[in-house]
Chain A
Amino acid sequence: MPSPDPSHEDEAALIGRIQRGERELFYDLIRPYERRVFVIAFTILRNEADAEDAAQEAFLKALKHLAQFRSESRFSTWLIQVAINEARQRQRKNHPEIMQPIEDQENEDGTYTPRDFADWREIPSEALERKEIREKLIAAFGSLAQKYREIFVLRDVEHLSIEDAARVLGISAGAVKTRLLRARLMLRDLLSPGLEGISASHSQGPKGTRPWS
């Protein structure tokens, strides 16, 4: 699990001091969120170099506009919003051909039929130490539509509440839940055959044995 966020009070005090001129404290303020901002940018841009650049820019903008931050909201949520805006803006600039639909054209009534009902053999977390497993998981994640990647990362990777995720994305809590269900089930479908395929290139057991076994 990621390290817990600083307390709201500590953070508010820190922000107050930065706003009053102790700008070097900004490093302390953002330190717990470096990974989070990078992951958010990576979720949208799907490229490590672009994501790092966008993350740096997001931090610069956060510093520049820190005076506009209102302490009644959480800094982490505000920062994520800044990061999402920066990454989306960069995505539009670099790939203007990718048009995000204004209206969600997909059926979001929550119905999603899994493709594979076979027994799921659990992938242990230790498998993440293997680079090829992590790359496979990231590739599966990257193949989801952006709206599913965004909500999945906010909720299941960054552990935002449903309400905060809805606020950050500007959608209803109901839409968050619907997209989250689809994202989780799609990933489940994507991972089963995908990871199964890895075993062929790694002689770690009988044919068909998953590499994390």
Chain B
Amino acid sequence: MVIKCDAVLSKISDYLEDDLDPAVKRAMEGHLAQCRPCRAVLEGATNVVALYGDENMFSLPVGFHSRLRRRLADRVEGQRGSWRGWLVSVAATGALAALVLFTTVRDRFAPEPRTQMSQPARRLPERLVAVADGGKTFHVPGCPYMHGKYRMVTPEEAIREGYAPCNRCMSEALRTAGSVEPDFEGLEIASSATGAR
């Protein structure tokens, strides 16, 4: 079989792949032995394949692996069904259930409000307030609306017992809570404030 340059050049790739009919391959090798230009092309193509196939030819950018790990971390580690993730879920659910239970119990055992107005104040004074056992509101000591025998309790205790803030003295006290000292001077805690209305 005789083979010409054009045919050889068109089969150089198949020759490199060793994907030729044996008779064609023999004919090609016979031609290459005699034809320097075709041999130069073959050698060049062989070198190209060897060079680009070398693993040093294309290398990963420095830090590629760690950047990839960081990019994947959320998807790989964030969504896995690990025991740690399971524990966190269980703990969060338990905490929520405990909070709901506590709120329910607290509300159930809280005393009935003494008045329809008896709602927790949004801001409470940091000092003790005065309540009377027969009264419905709690006061800053010295409030002209106080009457009867009273005792000193914390605002939280007063609210828990169902007292509502006094419309007069507490509105003033609540506006300035924590910043103004209530007037305790001259207060007669155990005295009757009758007529001091």
Contacts and interface: CB of A to CB of B under 8 A. Distances in A.
B61 to A, nearest CB: 6
A187 interface: yes
A39 B44 contact: no
A184 B12 contact: yes
Given A56-B67, A117-B37, A188 B45 contact: yes
A157 B16 contact: no
Contacts of B16: 184
Contacts, number: 137
A60 B75 CA distance: 8
Nearest to B69: A27
B108 interface: no
Interface residues of chain A: helix, strand, loop or mixed (majority): helix
B54 A128 contact: yes
A185 B41 contact: yes
A78 interface: no
B47 to A, nearest CB: 5
A148 interface: no
A118 interface: yes
A27 B72 contact: yes
Interface residues of chain B: helix, strand, loop or mixed (majority): helix
Nearest to B59: A35
A141 B52 contact: yes
B53 A156 contact: yes
Contacts of B79: 23
A110 interface: yes
B80 A24 contact: yes
Interface residues of B, number: 44
A185 B12 contact: yes
B106 interface: no
Contacts of A23: 75-77, 79-80
A64 B75 contact: yes
A34 interface: yes
Given A24-B77, A117-B41, A52 B52 contact: no
Contact of A111 (B10, B47, B59, B72): B10
Given A48-B61, A137-B57, A184-B12, A162 B49 contact: no
A34 B64 contact: yes
B55 interface: yes
A59 B67 CA distance: 12
Interface string A32-53: 0011001100100000100010
Nearest to A43: B58
Contacts of A52: 61, 64, 67
A149 B183 CA distance: 89
Contact of A191 (B48, B59, B76): B48
A118 B39 CA distance: 10
Contacts of A137: 51-52, 57
Interface in B61-85: 61, 64-65, 67-69, 71-72, 75-77, 79-81
A184 B72 contact: no
Interface of B: 6, 9-10, 12-14, 16-17, 19, 36-37, 40-41, 43-45, 47-61, 64-65, 67-69, 71-72, 75-77, 79-81
Given A119-B36, A128-B51, A177-B14, 17 more contacts: A38-B58, A60-B71, A60-B75, A113-B9, A114-B41, A120-B44, A120-B47, A125-B56, A134-B56, A156-B53, A157-B57, A159-B53, A180-B13, A184-B16, A185-B9, A185-B12, A187-B52
The 9 closest A-B pairs by CB, nearest first: A117-B37, A120-B44, A181-B13, A188-B44, A23-B80, A120-B43, A128-B56, A39-B58, A184-B45
10 contacts: A39-B58, A55-B64, A64-B75, A117-B40, A120-B43, A125-B50, A125-B51, A134-B56, A156-B53, A184-B45
